[in-house]
């Protein structure tokens, strides 16, 4: 099965398949959005809904059908069963609905995230924004990054050269003072807040220049976005200045910064 996985990765077929799966998960999610959805509280006090659970079930079933036996690390399964003791050489990182809090509040910037990890590095990733019917994906290794509206063709995207007045994109959860401090640290004059892994994609398509993050995140929050951004010519650096890696203890991230050109 790994032979097929690597062949599909090299041809770009794997990322195409992931995009189809993520868009089907989006179609599962959308009937819940702005329709009186109620969230339950998880052990860490973060919200979860039926949309999260149904989307994850679809993604897991489709991945197992395509590439049986590949390890999966998915947010809601980890909540119920705990995280695996260790990461395999190849594994999936899945967040079926990133930005659940904003989703429950009716905001648009929630996403579906699917990434393939090989020896700690994100080698393929797809991010879908159900509310705007938009998907971003990596291509074959070295083949760039792409965006499409549902049902339309793929368009190539890339990071922009750093402008004279760079702009940062930040988590909505940050205070204005903290966001301004972080933006300034990375040379950004202005900043804007939004939810979810959408921030990586906005840098990847050349609309922003930096996304610094100091608070904790889980690996499934960042892997797909990192794959897209790196394919578009950007980078995601951990606090030690090295590329952000995956399969860490408890699949937890420390601070990082995502950068464009």
**pTM score:** 0.95
Q: How high is the pLDDT of residue 108?
A: 94
- Buried b or exposed e, range 62-75, using 16+ CB within 10 angstroms: bbeebbeebebbbb
Q: For residues 151 and 113, what is the distance between their CA atoms, to the nearest angstrom?
A: 19
Give pLDDT tens digits along the chain (261 positions): 789 999 999 999 999 999 999 999 999 999 999 988 877 777 676 788 899 999 999 999 999 999 999 999 999 999 999 999 999 999 999 999 999 989 999 999 999 999 999 999 999 999 999 999 999 999 999 999 999 999 999 999 999 999 989 998 988 777 777 777 777 787 788 888 888 999 999 999 999 999 999 878 999 999 999 999 999 999 999 999 999 999 999 999 999 999 998
The DSSP output letter for 233 is: T
Q: For residues 59 and 166, what is the distance between their CA atoms, to the nearest angstrom?
A: 36
Find residue 136's DSSP bridge partners. 127, 147
């Amino acid at each position: 099965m790994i032979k097929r996985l690597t062949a599909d990765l090299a041809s770009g077929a794997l990322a195409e398949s992931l995009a189809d799966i993520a868009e089907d998960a989006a179609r599962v999610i959308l009937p819940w959005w702005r329709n009186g959805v109620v969230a339950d509280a998880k052990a860490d006090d973060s919200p979860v809904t039926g949309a999260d659970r149904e989307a994850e079930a679809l993604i897991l079933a489709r991945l197992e059908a395509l590439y049986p036996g590949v390890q999966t690390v998915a947010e809601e399964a980890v909540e119920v069963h705990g995280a695996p003791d260790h990461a395999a050489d190849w594994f999936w990182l899945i967040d079926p609905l990133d930005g659940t809090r904003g989703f429950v509040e009716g905001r648009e910037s929630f996403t579906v995230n699917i990434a393939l990890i090989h020896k700690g590095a994100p080698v393929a990733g797809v991010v879908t924004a159900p509310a705007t019917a938009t998907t971003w994906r990596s291509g074959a290794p070295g083949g760039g990054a792409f965006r499409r509206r549902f049902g339309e063709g793929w368009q190539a995207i890339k990071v922009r050269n750093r402008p004279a007045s760079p702009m940062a994109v930040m988590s909505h959860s940050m205070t204005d003072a903290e966001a301004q401090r972080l933006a300034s640290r990375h040379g950004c004059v202005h900043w804007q807040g939004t939810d979810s892994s959408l921030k990586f994609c906005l840098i990847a398509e050349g609309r922003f220049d930096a996304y610094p993050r100091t608070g904790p995140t889980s690996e499934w929050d960042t892997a797909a976005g990192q794959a897209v951004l790196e394919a578009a010519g950007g980078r995601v650096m951990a606090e030690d200045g090295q590329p952000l890696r995956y399969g860490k203890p408890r699949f937890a991230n420390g601070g990082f910064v995502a950068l464009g050109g």
